Every structure is written in structure tokens, then in C-alpha cells.
């Protein structure tokens, strides 16, 4: 679980976030919602350790992330995944090989040298492709997949790598509505069935309400609304998008 207390961040003397308080449980599908420029991506980058903050604390299972040394942060980032918009994938690889590539980090040196993956590794890759609804496209090259399918391959690759927390900055950018909803429905089931925690931002409020389990509204540089397992009221929408 992630707990944020009194987080503040300034860039070049300008306050971007102030007094942010937040509590995220494992298995939640968190969506940061707010007007353009409200600080959603900045908060996502701070929580994923891609960016630093000036005030307050971010705790993971009771451990203060601000106190980790560089190596500890590096190890933690390997367990987390941060994807901004479209994941960069090799267009000439098949979906299956791309997902299998996520295991590379875990392989012992001898396997890296021989380039061999075991039967279990192949099954694991297929398992995650199935989870994101792409088992039938396993042998298709990335270049032949749609934008939404590519995004789901990128997510499966991170899962196979062992990521338990996914930070996704607009995972549906550039996708048509049908593909976007498939990606979001897949993420929702990952949270429910595998206990993966998704922390994301995307501009479509309707989809945030439909698929998110925890909505965090950012306004006036802080968390103005924080609700779980329900839609926003009209009043809450007014507060966020004043």
C-alpha cells in the first residue's frame, strides 16, 4: 500500500502540488482526474520515483521512499512499471517474443548468454497474453497489431517482468474508443483477478468512472476529491473542474 502525506512540489519557484494526502491499497485501479495542467502527471511521476518532491513523505508498506538510496530506488523501480502513452516495442517481433522479453531481467547470466527460454517461461508469457485478451495474436508481429493491442502487449511484458504496480500516463492516448475501453477493461480485471495496482491518468472522465475503483480529483494543486467504488457527484465534478 502507498501512503502520501503532505506532499509538495515546486518547479522553478512555482508551486505545482501542495499538501497532497492520499492512501492507495493494493489491487486498486486509481485514476487521477482533473483539468489540463492540474498536476496529474507530475503526481504520477513523483509516486513512481521518476520525479522528486520537496515536501512530505511517500510511504510504501510503511517504508519512507524518500529515505531509499539510489540502488534501493533502482531495485524498486524494476518491480514497478511506468508507461507513458504508447510503449516502445520492436515492430518486427511477435507479441509472444515481446512479452517473453520482459523475462530477460530475471534470467540468470547463462540463459542470457544462450538466449534460451524454458517451457515455463513460454507458458507464463502466454498466460499474460491471455490475461490481456491477446492469446490469438501471440504469433502476430507487433507491426500488424492495432494501437490498443500494442498497448496491451506492453502491459503484458511489464507483468511478466514481475511488476505489481503499473503507473500509466494516459494509456489510451491515440486509441479509438473501442480499443481504449478494451485496454481499460483489461486493466480493471488485472486489478481484480491478480491484485495488480494500477495508478493512472487519462482525460476521459466517463471512463475513469466506469473502470476506476479509486478516483482522485486534483484541483487547486492538491487532492480536492477522493472517492472509492463509486461515481462522482455533480458537486464533486464542479470542485474538480471548477
Ligand X SMILES: Nc1ncnc2c1ncn2[C@@H]1O[C@H](COP(=O)(O)OP(=O)(O)OP(=O)(O)O)[C@@H](O)[C@H]1O
Contacting positions for ligand X (CB under 6 A): 11, 16, 34, 36-42
Closest CB to ligand X among 34 and 154?
Answer: 34
Q: Which residue, 76, 75, 72, 86, is CA-closest to 47?
A: 76
Helices (H), the chain: 40-47, 70-79, 95-101, 109-114, 119-131, 147-160, 177-194, 205-211, 234-240
Closest CB to ligand X among 127 and 226?
Answer: 226
Secondary structure class of 25 (helix, strand, coil): coil
Report the distance separating Cα 222 and Cα 20, nearest Å: 5
Closest CB to ligand X among 39 and 102?
Answer: 39
The contacts of residue 149 (CB under 8 Å, 6+ apart) are 95, 134, 137, 179
Q: How far is the CB of 235 from ligand X (least distance, A)?
A: 21
Closest CB to ligand X among 65 and 240?
Answer: 240
Q: How far is the CB of 191 from ligand X (least distance, A)?
A: 22
- Sheet of strand 222-228, all strands in order from the earlier edge strand to the far edge: 80-84, 165-169, 197-201, 29-34, 214-219, 222-228
DSSP for residue 232: P
Q: How far is the CB of 41 from ligand X (least distance, A)?
A: 3
Q: How far is the CB of 40 from ligand X (least distance, A)?
A: 4
Q: How far is the CB of 223 from ligand X (least distance, A)?
A: 13
Closest CB to ligand X among 159 and 183?
Answer: 183
Q: How far is the CB of 8 from ligand X (least distance, A)?
A: 13
Closest CB to ligand X among 173 and 185?
Answer: 173
CB-count exposure of residue 66 (10 Å: 0-12, 13-18, 19+): middle
Amino acid at each position: 500500500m502507498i501512503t502520501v502525506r503532505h506532499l509538495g512540489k515546486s518547479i522553478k519557484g512555482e508551486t505545482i502540488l501542495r499538501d497532497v494526502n492520499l492512501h492507495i491499497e493494493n489491487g486498486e485501479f486509481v485514476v487521477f482526474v482533473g483539468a489540463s495542467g492540474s498536476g496529474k502527471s507530475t503526481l504520477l511521476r513523483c509516486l513512481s520515483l521518476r520525479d522528486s518532491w520537496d515536501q512530505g513523505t511517500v510511504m510504501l508498506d510503511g517504508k519512507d521512499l524518500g529515505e531509499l538510496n539510489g540502488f534501493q530506488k533502482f531495485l524498486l523501480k524494476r518491480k514497478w512499471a511506468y508507461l507513458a502513452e504508447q510503449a516502445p516495442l520492436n515492430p518486427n517481433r511477435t507479441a509472444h517474443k515481446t512479452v517473453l522479453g520482459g523475462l530477460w531481467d530475471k534470467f540468470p547470466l547463462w540463459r542470457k548468454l544462450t538466449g534460451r527460454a524454458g517451457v515455463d517461461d513460454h507458458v507464463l508469457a502466454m498466460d499474460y497474453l491471455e490475461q490481456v485478451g491477446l492469446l490469438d495474436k501471440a504469433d502476430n508481429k507487433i507491426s500488424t497489431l492495432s494501437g490498443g493491442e500494442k498497448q496491451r502487449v506492453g502491459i503484458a511484458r511489464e507483468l511478466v517482468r514481475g511488476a505489481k504496480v503499473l503507473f500509466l500516463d494516459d494509456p489510451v492516448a491515440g486509441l479509438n474508443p473501442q480499443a481504449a475501453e478494451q485496454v481499460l477493461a483489461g486493466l480493471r480485471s488485472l486489478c481484480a483477478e491478480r491484485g495488480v495496482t494500477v495508478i493512472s491518468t487519462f482525460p476521459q472522465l466517463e471512463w475513469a468512472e466506469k473502470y476506476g475503483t479509486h478516483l482522485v480529483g486534483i484541483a487547486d494543486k492538491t487532492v480536492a476529491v477522493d472517492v472509492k467504488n463509486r461515481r462522482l457527484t455533480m458537486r464533486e465534478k464542479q470542485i474538480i473542474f471548477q
